[in-house]
């Protein structure tokens, strides 16, 4: 199913020509209207008229989150404030928030991208969407909301939290789609089971999950426990919000909306652009944004561009699921460790719950990693020997994936904190 087959299925030649035209215009707009870009271009002796194609783009410096913070709140905007009809921002928990603005055209573009995303996931006009992403300054809730209204679906703006109310509305209102973080989807599944709700009494058929990395095994767990098709969506506020990329019904990579965003994969250490298929950090340049044009923005997200085309017929290239973040990456005794690697290893096993936490600490001069894992209630009262065997099995699984030794701590069911938003997976005590 397509929302806009003329755009989503255009030929690669037509798409690349459109990208080139829009890229040149974006660079010119940024240079002439955003002092930050003018300074950094002039510092390396680049003029906008020298931009002819994507190879010239590689000559430009990267934009980072700190650049947006340094120009807080509005100095990265390329239009006058009377043209800005919406302002969103990050939570700012690690410093000044990043502020993003939208013109009326930007809002219409975002709604179009979200309409494509919802239809790609299998949602149609007759569906009832329970939107459990947060509303407010966070872009998730309103992004889904405007896309749903554009395709004519019924949207329930319930936002996040209040799980008992979520379950009541899910059942009574006949929700056919749920949108939230994957960790909250698992929490909903757990609550459904605890409340004795029969899945046959629910009408859920699809879930759109994003805002945090999740593994293929976590997808299988969600699909089994909620009896729906779990679709991965990707976006970030600095680029536009959700709707930058989304899976189709094939569930084989996320199609990037390439008529609005130009993507690169770089080596996070050297900044070198990597060829298709190699894993690295995802970088985006916006092609149509008016209020906040963004050039070579380092997302911090680790993925790769998948080779080949998709059987769905869309011409947009695909990225693999986000495996983690370069800034969330743990370095344990010289080895790069992503929480999603551990999640994948854990969810291959049936004896543990899909809830875990990683505790990093220092023993002498050595970094240590403890993986706290909830065991299922069915084995809670097993013999000590059985629990030791399970602990050894988990440790062997994880160590075979990571290549370093880890400590396993089995904990009772429901002792690891649940999240109604993004799950907090890592506790780093090395600085304590």
Q: Structural domains in the chain?
A: 1-326 (3.40.50.12780), 330-428 (3.30.300.30)
Instruction: Name the β-bridge partners of 266.
Output: 273, 281
Q: What is the pLDDT of residues 195-234, one digit of tens each?
A: 999 999 999 999 999 988 788 988 999 999 999 999 999 9
| 318-319 and 206-209 strand pairing | unpaired
- Is residue 135 classed exposed, middle or buried when 0-12, 13-18 and 19+ CB atoms within 10 A define those classes? middle
Q: 């029969």: which residue's tokens?
A: 198
Give which of 331, 348, 347, 330 is closest to 339, Cα–Cα.
330
pLDDT of res. 93:
41
Cis amide bond preceding 73, omega within 30:
yes
Element (H, E) at 25: helix 12-33
As a whole number, mean pLDDT of residues 176-198 equals 93
Highest mean pLDDT among 14-18, 44-48, 53-57, 427-431: 14-18
pLDDT band at residue 333 under the 50/70/90 scheme:
confident
Q: What is the pTM of this model?
A: 0.83
- Distance CA(208)–CA(234), nearest Å, equals 10
Using CA atoms, how far residue 368 sits from 156, 331, 339, 406, 431, in Å, is: 45, 10, 15, 7, 13
Q: What is the pLDDT of residues 81-108, one digit of tens each?
A: 999 999 998 754 445 788 999 999 999 9
Instruction: Name the β-bridge partners of 297.
Output: 63, 284
């Amino acid at each position: 199913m397509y929302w806009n087959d003329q755009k989503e299925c255009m030929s690669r030649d037509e798409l690349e020509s459109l990208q080139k035209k829009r890229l040149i215009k974006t660079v010119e707009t940024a240079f002439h209207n955003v002092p930050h870009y003018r300074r950094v271009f002039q510092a390396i002796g680049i003029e906008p008229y020298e931009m002819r194609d994507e190879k010239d783009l590689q000559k430009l410096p990267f934009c980072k989150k700190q650049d947006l913070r340094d120009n807080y709140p509005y100095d990265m905007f390329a239009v006058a404030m009377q043209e800005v009809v919406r302002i969103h921002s990050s939570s700012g928990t690690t410093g000044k928030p990043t502020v993003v603005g939208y013109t009326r055209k930007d809002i219409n573009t975002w709604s179009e991208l979200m309409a494509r995303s919802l239809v790609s996931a299998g949602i149609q006009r007759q569906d009832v969407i329970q939107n459990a992403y947060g509303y407010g300054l966070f872009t998730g809730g309103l992004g889904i909301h405007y896309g749903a209204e554009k395709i004519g679906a019924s949207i329930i703006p319930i936002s996040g939290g209040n799980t008992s109310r979520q379950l009541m509305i899910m059942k009574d209102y006949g929700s056919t789609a749920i949108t939230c973080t994957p960790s909250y989807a698992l929490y909903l599944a757990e609550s459904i089971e605890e409340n004795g709700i029969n899945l046959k009494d629910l009408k859920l058929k699809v879930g759109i999950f994003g805002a945090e990395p999740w593994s293929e095994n976590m997808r299988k767990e969600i699909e089994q426990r909620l009896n729906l098709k779990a679709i991965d969506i990707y976006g970030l506020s600095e680029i536009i919000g959700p709707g930058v990329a989304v899976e189709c019904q094939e569930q084989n990579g996320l199609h990037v909306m390439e008529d609005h965003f130009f993507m690169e994969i770089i080596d996070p250490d050297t900044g070198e652009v990597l060829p298709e298929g190699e894993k690295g950090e995802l970088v985006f340049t916006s092609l149509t944004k008016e209020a906040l044009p963004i050039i070579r923005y380092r997302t911090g997200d680790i993925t790769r561009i998948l080779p080949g085309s998709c059987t769905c017929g869309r011409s947009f290239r695909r990225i693999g699921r986000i495996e983690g973040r370069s800034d969330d990456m743990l370095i344990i005794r010289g080895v790069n460790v992503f929480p999603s690697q551990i999640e994948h290893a854990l969810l291959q096993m049936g004896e543990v719950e899909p809830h875990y936490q990683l505790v990093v600490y220092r023993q002498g001069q050595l970094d240590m990693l403890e993986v706290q894992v909830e065991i299922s209630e069915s084995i809670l009262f097993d013999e000590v020997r059985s629990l030791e065997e399970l602990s050894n099995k988990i440790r062997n699984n994880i160590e075979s994936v990571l290549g370093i030794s880890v400590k396993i701590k089995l904990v009772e069911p429901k002792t690891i904190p649940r999240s109604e938003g993004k799950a907090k997976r890592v506790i780093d005590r090395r600085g304590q």
